[in-house]
Structure 1
Amino acid sequence: MSKPQVLIAANPKTGIVWSKDEQASKLGAVAEVLELTSSSRSEFFDELAGSGKYANVVGIYRHNDSVSAVGLFDKELIDKLPKSVKYICHNGAGYDQIDVAAASARGIEVSHTPQAVDAATATVGAFLAISAVRQFYRAEVNVRNGKWKAGLKPARDPEEKVLGIIGMGGIGSALARRLIAFDMKVIYYNRKPISPEPDFPCTYVSSQDELLKQADVVSLNLPLNDKTKGSFGKKQFDLMKDGSVLVNTARGAVVDEEALIEALESGKLASAGIDVYPDEPNVNPKLIAMDNITLLPHMGTETRDTQKKMEILVLDNLVSAVSGKGLLNQVPEQKK
């Protein structure tokens, strides 16, 4: 009996890097594994259709780097997938590059890798928060330019400051644990309180507006979707404390970038720590020119340890799915 076919929709050199052995031993044991060789979106469509080499694929391992070859997994692409496709297993906690509604309409189940990214992304968030509060980037620019402390003003200490987390999921919880070690007080806003209560000291606030009024550092830890796109703008910045800090490790498009720049230029925000941007890899030159903010090039999961955990979790989802046991980490929109 032939094995079901699974497509690795990723660059062979960068898609599965740290888990080649697991790809062979785990996935190879239950499926025939095909590598993506399509060099364009149109070629990919041709190879999905009729008697093309991907025409009988049941599951797809999707990596963001596939965009350079075949584009986003939008409605157009998903509607081109053969009827055999039942699963799209995405390597990443965020899955805004996949049209989940279009997949659901085709009866295709989608998974992602939430828990695998929590620790690494939270570490980036903690670094950005501390760097922004203490103004470490400005100090580093000084010392690299031979200016020592010239022009530097005293910054703030994180101790006893209020950290406001918008979106207390896995990443937000891991961030809270890290910054509690700096004696920060944690408040959070979700649509409803976490149940059971977190195993660390924190306080739920019933509205985002109230969180913004109380927090010295606001961390965005929410997904990008139609409801959250551009949702953090001038109104939200106006509610924040004068001289407060914004940290964004979620998605760049969640924030109205012009409103962010205005808040930084006016001094409403003392600083910011940013790892994500609306038009990656392009970064607004106005942000680059500011020496009071810390910028990173989407470094959230840029560790070999975390990338291996993510790869293995995608493989485990595919193995479970093609073995008839269902997905392990189906996206929330599809859960009943």
Structure 2
Amino acid sequence: MEATVPNGRASAASPPKVLLLGKIELAHAAFEALTKSVTIVTPKSTNRDDFLAESRSGAFDGCKVAYRNFDSFSITGPFDATVLDALPNSLRFICHCGAGYDQIDVPACTERGIRVSNTPSAVDDATADTGIFLLLGALRNFNSCLFTLRRGEWRGSPPPELGHDPRGKILGFVGFGGIGQNMAAKARHFGLQIRYFKPNRLSVAEEERLGATYVDFDTLLAESDIISLNLRLNETTRHIISEAEFRKMKKGVVIINTARGAVIDEVALVNALDQGQVSSAGLDVYEDEPSVHPGLIKNDRCMLLPHMGTYTSETERKMEEWALDNVVKAVKSGVLRSIVPEQQNM
């Protein structure tokens, strides 16, 4: 479905140029509609060094908007100051297909007058469903038996430790945006008590609607039976859970992470699992993807997924359509449907 045209400088009558970084997998109709009003430019590069050289050669001159997805990282590497300096001065918008955008250096974009958009609520349902799956699997200690059964050992010998029912347990959210709130609504049906911590507390009406109680960070760590990480990754939140935080938690706590791997210090998590401070973990994200710490791999009390939180056809299509809608709005009116929070006042 990609439409590639010869690169070069556009004449005054030429349609706007959009740099396409990553394939459109599902939103074919929306992409086809876009190609009727813009010129799509696709890089020939397959790695960062070649991409930088191609960009500096003027191949992308005139591009006003860049559409990118998570997989385009393999071509560009981090969307940092080096990449931004190589791209043409005409670039004014980056439309990212995804809720998380830690691959993009937003301050560097802001400094250059480039606005960044993401697809925030498009991922809420699918990611929350993944969180619930990991929570139940880790809490009930299902993971070890998934392997013993396939080895023909039924539950194994000795069998795994007994798991725990969710009813009456305290589920604490670190970060409580759209995904966390969606997950909390689903978790309540399992009888879980909801606590949350975030820098900006919700209104009383919102807390009542969600059945959620605000607590400070240390209280959440100390009182929660299960802790779910649902916050953006930035320099403030990197390793927000590390050795000191694990020591504040209940012995036998369950950790769930569907946010970004680096919000947890993975080495500290492995140590906490080995020491029994953390009884089990349900993880969809890792600090150095696609590499996973061997201590997590070998621990059969860890429910591990290879970053599949949004991996459904419905959600992937929704994300692509949302990001393409951002492209359309940027080209036609110079605005975005969903600018990232750091640039709300830009």
- Give the TM-score normalised by the residue count of structure 2: 0.92
Which secondary structure does the structure 2 equivalent of 1:30 belong to? coil
SS in 1 for 2:190: coil
Structure 2 CA distance for partners of 1:40 and 1:200, relative to 1, 3 Å? closer
The alignment status of 1:309 with 2:321, answered yes or no, reads no
**After superposition, what is the alpha-carbon deviation per residue over 1:59-115, rounded to whole angstroms, capped at 9, x for unaligned?**
000112222222221110011121110100111111111111111111100001111
Q: Give 2:38's match in structure 1, choosing from 21, 31, 39.
A: 31
| One-letter code aligned to 2:211 | P
- The residue that corresponds to 1:125 in the other structure is 131
1:43 aligned onto 2:55: no
Q: Residue 282 of structure 1: which of 283, 291, 307 is its match?
A: 291
User: What letter corresponds to residue 165 of structure 1 in structure 2?
Assistant: F
Superposition pairs of residues 71-90 of structure 1, within 5 angstroms: 71-90=77-96
> Of 185, 190, 196, which residue of structure 1 is paired with 2:193?
185
Shift of 1:325: 4.8
AA aligned to 2:240 is: S
Partner of 1:166: 174
Of 163, 167, 174 in structure 2, the residue corresponding to residue 155 of structure 1 is: 163
Alpha-carbon distance change, 273 to 40 in structure 1, aligned in 2, over 3 angstroms:
closer
How far the C-alpha of 1:123 sits from its partner, in A, is 0.8
Indicate conservation of the 8 Å contact 1:49/1:55, yes or no: no
Tell me how far 1:122 sits from its aligned partner: 0.8
Residue 234 of structure 1, CA deviation: 1.1
Unaligned stretches of 5+ residues in structure 2:
1-12
Cross-structure match for 1:115: 121
Aligned residue for 1:323, secondary structure, equals helix
Q: Distance in 2 between matches of 1:190 and 1:117?
A: 20
Opposite residue 87 of structure 1, the aligned amino acid is: F
> How large is the RMSD of aligned CA atoms in angstroms?
1.4
- Cα deviation digits, residues 179-203 of structure 1 (max 9, x gap): 1111111011111221351422111
Tell me the percent identity: 43
Q: Are 1:105 and 2:111 an aligned pair?
A: yes
**Alpha-carbon contact 2:141-2:161 (below 8 Å) kept:** no
Whole-Å separation in 2 of the counterparts to 1:190 and 1:104: 24
User: Match of 1:34, as an amino acid?
Assistant: V
Count of aligned residue pairs for this structure pair: 329
Task: Please tell me whether the aligned partners of residues 48 and 74 of structure 2 are also in contact (alpha carbons under 8 angstroms).
Answer: no
Quote the Cα distance in structure 1 between the aligned partners of 2:323 and 2:44: 20
Tell me the distance in 1 between the aligned counterparts of 2:32 and 2:182.
32
Q: Which residue of 2 aligns with 1:56?
A: 62
Q: 1:65 and 2:77 equivalent?
A: no
- Do 1:5 and 1:57's aligned partners in 2 also have CA atoms closer than 8 Å? yes
Match of 2:228, SS?
strand
Q: Equivalent residue for 1:6?
A: 18
Q: Does 1:334 align with 2:337?
A: no
Distance 1:94 1:225 in 2: 10
Name the amino acid aligned to 1:247: I
Cα distance in 2 for residues equivalent to 1:57 and 1:142: 54
Distance, in Å, in 2 between the alignment partners of 1:223 and 1:247 is 15
CA contact (8 A) 1:273 1:295 kept: yes
Q: 2-side partners of 1:292 and 1:67: how far apart?
A: 31
Contact 1:234 1:259 survives alignment (8 Å) = yes
**SS at 2:318's partner residue?**
helix
SS of residue matched to 1:321: helix
Q: Is the 8 A contact 1:73 1:99 kept in 2?
A: yes
**Amino acid paired to 1:314:** A
Task: Tell me, yes or no, if the aligned pair for 2:174 and 2:231 is still in contact at 8 Å.
Answer: yes
Residues 295-323 of structure 1, C-alpha deviations (whole Å, 9 max, x = no match): 11111111111110000000000101111
Mapped to 1, the partners of 2:77 and 2:243 lie a distance apart of 32
For 1:260, the equivalent position in structure 2 comes to 269
Q: Does the 8 A contact of 2:65 with 2:92 survive in 1? A: yes
CA contact (8 A) 1:188 1:211 kept: yes
Alignment deviations for residues 95-154 of structure 1 (CA, whole Å, 9 cap, x no partner): 111111111111100001111111111111111100010001112222222222342232
CA distance in 2 between partners of 1:131 and 1:214 (Å): 21
Partner amino acid, structure 1, of 2:153: K
Aligned residue for 1:33, secondary structure, equals strand
The answer (yes or no) to whether the contact 1:248–1:274 under 8 Å persists in 2 is yes
Contact 1:253 1:278 in 2 (8 A): yes
